[in-house]
Amino acid sequence: MKKRVLLISTAQDYTKGHKGKTTPCAALGIIAAYTPSNYDLLLVNEQNNNESVYHNNVDLVGFSAMTCQIKRAIEVSKYYRDLGIPTIIGGIHATVRPEDTFGHFDATVIGEGDLVWGKILADFERGELKKTYKADKFVDMKDVPPFRHDLLYKKKTTLSHAIVQATRGCPYKCEFCSVTDIFGSFYRTRPVENVAAEVAGLKQKIIFFIDDNIMGNHKYAYSLFEKLVPLKKMWVGQASLELSVKDLTLLKLAKKSGCRGLFIGIESVTQVNTPGKLGSPSLKEISKKIKILRDQGLLVNTSVIYGFDHDDQYCFEKTVEFLIKNHVAIANFPNLTPYPGSALFARLEKEGRMLHYDWEKYNNHHPTFKLKKLTPEQLVAGGYWSTYYFYNAGNILKRLPANLHNFFRYVYMNFQYNRISSARKKEAHITKMPPIMRKEWLDQI
């Protein structure tokens, strides 16, 4: 009789009780792909419609957790360990702060799980699990298999797009990000043929490339997009604004290969030279680059972070007005969060500015450190206001003419955000710019 392995991604605090569909968990999909066929596998993403994490007849339980998920993972691990079932923890938090997991799980994976999962299963079979398993190098990307899409996608709980990963790593060592330290300081690429074969075999019509920067390596991106053209799939991905518009021929090829939109991290527009971010483009330069993406018929989905040391009470209005004037299709407004393992975490801790270490709150939605020019209450209320104002009906319509090339997606996504943000209307308030300051700001854009 086959032994049963349960792989879990636990909920974050703001998704507990979540009733909507979500994107599949990549970590579960790749570990499942490395699991031999002589095991029965069950994958559970608790964020997907609040899927139950409690199951019977389980022999081994594996967890993948980000910082904001670690508390819940510990809770669920206790349930299984009390039943005598061994548990394993991996993921970003376990890699950067393994000490938080000791005593709560039978084994902790430090680094990429690709190279150690087979060893873990072998030790489990012998009843000799070790306390830690550390990947002493990065996996060779040619050996990375496709995700177990057959296990990742559940009609009632998962969004209809498929996830695919072509690269890992990033050379941009942004202060607030730990990707470089965990996954490498250069773009590690899967063979284009392997990625194309995975995409070709998918039933889903829309692909989400989860790479940190799908256009980071232009030579590789050219080869990949050329392979995607005949597959006639639609896809979205993440890219830096600078690299996505640097080569117009590549951008046009991306569109030809099925690209319908890009998630662009602008980070901040209220100060030209943002700490931790390479380069210092002017606001008008950023505006021109956003227009280049729109002119190619792409939906621009961006993220602007609040909470940098230069952000004051006017940063919220300045940011949203900039995005509206540039007809950005979708915008997110996360709080700056000093994730363990990042240079930002180390700096703020050294400066004595950490407010707490309640990891469940480290999810971009809660204040976690002492701000220089904002109170925690202003940060939270400003984030709510930004979402509410950006997605009010008038501003949705104002941005629509520049996004007619993706009319149905634009309208659907914007009014979904409108519905969600309206629930926080009473908590959404800011200090607005004086008229003269507002005029001067708009003239800069």
Tokens of 162: 């498929």
Q: Which domains does the chain have, with CATH numbers?
A: 3-134 (3.40.50.2300), 150-444 (3.80.30.20)
Question: What is the predicted pLDDT for the residue at 48?
Answer: 76
Model confidence, pTM: 0.93
Judge contact between 332 and 300, C-beta under 8 A: no
Residue 274 has pLDDT above 50, yes or no: no
Closest Cα to residue 38, out of 137, 158, 125, 166?
125
Tokens of 404: 């007619």
Burial of 128 (0-12, 13-18, 19+ CB in 10 A): exposed
Residue range 36-46: average pLDDT? Answer: 95
Would you place residue 50 in the very low, low, confident or very high pLDDT band (cuts 50, 70, 90)? confident
SS3 state of residue 429: coil
Helix axes 218-228, 192-200, angle to 10 degrees: 30
The percent of residues above 90 in pLDDT, for the chain, comes to: 84
Per-residue model confidence as pLDDT tens digits over 303-352: 999 999 999 999 999 999 999 999 999 999 999 999 999 999 999 999 99
Would you place residue 278 in the very low, low, confident or very high pLDDT band (cuts 50, 70, 90)? very low
Judge contact between 333 and 383, C-beta under 8 A: yes
Helix (H) or strand (E) holding 384: helix 376-390
Residue 154 has pLDDT above 80, yes or no: no
Residue range 83-105: average pLDDT? Answer: 98
Question: What is the predicted pLDDT for the residue at 20?
Answer: 64
Strands (E), 111-233: 132-134, 162-164, 167-168, 188-189, 206-209
Residue 130 has pLDDT above 80, yes or no: yes
Residue 262 has pLDDT above 50, yes or no: yes
If one counts every other C-beta atom within 10 angstroms of the C-beta of residue 95, the result is: 22
Sign of the Cα pseudo-torsion (30, 205, 16, 429, in order): positive
- Give the phi and the psi of residue 71 in degrees, each rounded to 5: -60, -45
Weakest mean pLDDT among 77-91, 172-186, 406-420? 172-186
What is the spatial distance between Cα 227 and Cα 221, in angstroms, rounded to a whole number? Answer: 10
Burial of 394 (0-12, 13-18, 19+ CB in 10 A): exposed
Closest Cα to residue 189, out of 209, 165, 161, 225?
165
Higher pLDDT: 424 or 131? It is: 131
SS3 state of residue 172: coil
The mean pLDDT value of the chain amounts to 93
Closest Cα to residue 342, out of 365, 366, 368, 320?
368
Question: What is the predicted pLDDT for the residue at 51?
Answer: 81
Sign of the Cα pseudo-torsion (266, 268, 271, 277, in order): negative
If one counts every other C-beta atom within 10 angstroms of the C-beta of residue 443, the result is: 7
If one counts every other C-beta atom within 10 angstroms of the C-beta of residue 397, the result is: 11
What is the spatial distance between Cα 439 and Cα 445, in angstroms, rounded to a whole number? Answer: 10
Question: What is the predicted pLDDT for the residue at 277?
Answer: 46
